Amino acid sequence: MCMNKFYVVGTPIGNMEDITLRAMRILSEVDLILCEDTRVTHNLLSKYQIKTPTMSYHAQSKLSKADKIIEMLNEGKNIALVSDAGTPTISDPGSLLISQIKSACPEVEIIAIPGPSAIVSALSISGLSVAEFTFLGFLPHKKGRETLFKEIAGSERVMAFYESPHRIMKALESLKKFVPERKVVIARELTKVFEQIVSGTPEEIIKYFTDNSDKVRGEFVVLVSGK
């Protein structure tokens, strides 16, 4: 029987000092840490002198990798799951693995170790009324993208999504088309050296990034006020 534990551990989204004491303890105590990219996680582990073995697990991992993880749980191992940044399974690999573990080893205790989240951090400093909001994750590249912008236009709640530097200007152009008068808040590179918040109408933000093209880089959280 599986009587051990599987931890879902939030890690810093930029500033490594944002890791919690509990997260450091758990990562030190488990038998194995599953990482989206072992090289990224090793940077964090090295900073805090955590020597726990690691193994890659990401969206492209084969089913056999999940079978191996379940086998280790059956052997009595305690395992932690981390992502490159933030909280695993939130717009991030891991949900399928947790579902598989729940099915194969229902006795395993799955425990959340709370930590940073880019979406919550952005909402907290946005100045928008966020008693209710809808999180869309990463928008699709093509199919269904326009449908989501129409959904944003019709929403009375704050709508939030992640966007890459390669598509942020395209996203802003779509917001200009569908919600030209709404307030938009862009949170860029949260907790990192070049953290930045830019607010305004879609057109105002497009002008800002057009005039400051060197800022169109990093990771973006986009918040759109409700109608």
CATH (domain of 9): 3.40.1010.10
Which residue segment(s) compose the domain that 143 sits in?
118-224
- 16 and 99 co-located in one domain: yes
How many domains in the chain? 2
pLDDT tens per residue across all 227 residues of the chain: 456 999 999 999 999 999 999 999 999 999 999 999 999 999 999 999 999 999 999 877 777 888 999 999 999 999 999 999 999 988 777 888 999 999 998 999 999 999 999 999 999 999 999 999 999 999 988 888 999 999 999 999 999 999 999 999 999 999 999 999 999 999 999 999 999 999 999 999 999 999 999 999 999 999 999 98
pLDDT for the residue numbered 21:
97
- 103 and 127 co-located in one domain: no
pTM for the full predicted model: 0.90
- 18 and 91 co-located in one domain: yes
- 128 and 103 co-located in one domain: no
Cα distances (angstroms) measured from residue 43 to each of 67, 79, 216: 27, 19, 26
Which amino acid type is present at position 106?
Answer: P
Sequence-distant (≥ 6) Cβ neighbours of residue 46 within 8 angstroms: none
pLDDT for the residue numbered 90:
83
Cα distances (angstroms) measured from residue 155 to each of 135, 138, 145, 146, 181: 12, 18, 16, 14, 14
pLDDT for the residue numbered 1:
47
pLDDT for the residue numbered 62:
75
- Answer with the one of 90, 113, 136 that is the final residue of a domain: 113
CATH code for position 155: 3.30.950.10
Altogether, the residues listed in the chain come to a count of 227
- Answer with the one of 113, 134, 167 that is the final residue of a domain: 113
- 125 and 97 co-located in one domain: no
